[in-house]
Chains A and B, each alone.
Chain A
Amino acid sequence: MSANEKISKEALKEKVLEKLPTLPKVVQEAWKLMERPNVSPELISEVIGKDITLTAKILRLINSPFYGFPNRIGSLKHAIILLGFNTIRGLLISSVLFGEITPPLMRIWEHACECATTAGIIARQLNYKEADEITVAGLLHDMSKVVLKVYLPEIDAKIEIVKQKSLCLDYEAEKEVMGFAHDVINLWLAEQWHFPPSLTEALAYHHTVEKAKKYPQFAAIINLADVLIHVYRLTPGMEVIPEIHPKTYEILNIFPDFLFEIIRTMDRTLYNLEWGIDERK
């Protein structure tokens, strides 16, 4: 570990999730939803699954050794079932505190939701049973970028400058400024929070897919989803598009026409992406 890594890991050891903001709309919708009698955990997970901070908090909580089964739960729906509605309400109440989601943070939130949806589409198309968990990985794959913006704003500012100047990827700019990128921070946090290995690998290796030893398909799907979203949205401020990792095709056993199928489905689904729940269901 480089000196820079050591310093940042120490700085980030402090309770990182505390100061992260949550989308007020998500809290409102979730709260309203929980007032319905017999509401299903699945519906609640669809609403909460649009917020990075709440999802991370919920997964951190259910994987805490206190609950008795750390490193097991990667599905938001399962986490909600196991935490119970009272605890979820408690998390909702306390989540409204920490500042608003500024426009740069909002871009990360939007990208996260779209990546989550796309990852889910890919997983279902490939008949993976763990579509839930893969969706969560899609949502959280950039969570460390949020952490950087909120906790290390000076470093984040430097990264932005490098990005503008060299027109490069976030990943490359982060490496230049800090010596390592957001996927490494993801790894520290996921390990600290006892996330299941499948989720941890997806968060840590979605840029370096060859490093995913136990669950390469998870990392590969997030890699693919991330790129497809960048292509699809041509995110402003991200004129540079990451490449699909060479191993991704091999791991998922897919061919280029598969991508067309996915993009077609994305077209239908992302157009309707709302911040609440899909009332048509």
Chain B
Amino acid sequence: MTIVSTADLLAILPELLVMAGGCLVLVLDPLTAKDRKDWLAYFSLAVLGAAFVVGYWFMGALTGSPRPAFSGLYVLDAYGAFWKLLLILVSGLVILLAKAHLKLEEIDLPEFYAFILLSLSGMMVMVSGTDLLVIYLGLELMSLSLYVMAGFKRYAPRSLEAAAKYFILGSFSSGILLYGISLLFGRTGSTTLAGIRDGIAGLPPGDPILLMAMGLLVVGFGFKVAAVPFHMWTPDVYEGSPTSVTAYMAVASKAASFAAFLRVFLEALGGIKESWRMLLVAVCIATMVLGNVVAIVQTNIKRMLAYSSIAHAGYALIGLVVADAAGTASVMLYLAIYAFMNLGAFAVVTMLRRGGLEGDEIDDFTGLARRNKWAALVMLLFMFSLAGIPPTAGFIAKFYIFMAAVGANMTGLAVIAVVFAAISAYFYLRVVMVMYMKEPGETAGTPGYDVRVVASPAAIAVLLVAALGVLILGVFPDPLIQAAQSAILPLK
């Protein structure tokens, strides 16, 4: 008997491409002349392009039944393919963004692209793994690359601090996750999602060890998606990391973690839905409340966006606690749309320079409309989209997820979500207000003094894609909705 078949290897072709690409970048780096390092970024983009094409072909070819691989440890299904395409797209945009941003920050090292690719391959494993250990493997590959990237601005103490904190807490949460996995294994005798599901079916309801294992998994995944009360690392790490890395963490790592969260809880733990639902409803409410309320008092845009990303995790969790077809589709839709608007907002931050530094205070946006109309206009678009105001895509995302809650008779949850989404307008609008309704400072020490927008073609391309994404998905969301609905998990 052969352990690995050609079919298995074909199933992970996009992952292999990305992983090999990442290793190749590391090898090619010393062989590339100093002034040609940009080619490595283009090379990485080409790798992503190839992976995207293969992934897209897979998604098209996958009509109907999922194809298991590696004796049931891995699966090739539309659900995984949807997330993979999204993650590849996001990684491509982040590479483009980083190409310009790393130069500004004087940390222009091509390893960065290698880490993006390696981290991406981890995420791709996460979203397709059907065995807890495989998912864990992907999660660690993703996280380890992110730890390094968080500390990429190695001359800045804030960046190092962020990396250290992220690493320590990340490892701790991984440990908790592993502990949960081992308890599950102990109780059900399996680490595959299907095996655990069958094992749970044979257990008496309310099995304490099982519930404990479930709780530990909630902690582990809750940490990765930045849900309250496991969110504390987010503001510090988001603020300290280089902004292009922050964008990657806030968008890609969150999306991949949600994908795995959903798959594990719906496929493996679907049998004890009622017990995790209560827990997650509490987490979900706490996340929406805390994220939105604390964002109000932030003065640093990266911290504000960090709390905003916490709040958005809260909205997305609604789709998980709803735990039906509409819920799953709305989470997929939500995170896809969230990717565009959040990436766009962070992209604007990377372009803003105050003196020789990054303009990451909200004050630095003062009078931006008079300094650079286009930058202010796209930022306005992203802020309105994050606040969920039509006709931007953010409205569609919220509309569907709240609708899913009402459809599942969880009107109370929808009420809380809608109210806090309304409150969120306040802090998103503050950015718009300082950009449009204030004059930029003319003397040192006043807000908006000595701020300029450094626009490179790559960054403009990212902004263009993000802005068009927010607008087009707002006016013409149908293809994405269809894609999400056809790629939902087969619920058991």
Verify that A and B bind, or say they do not: no
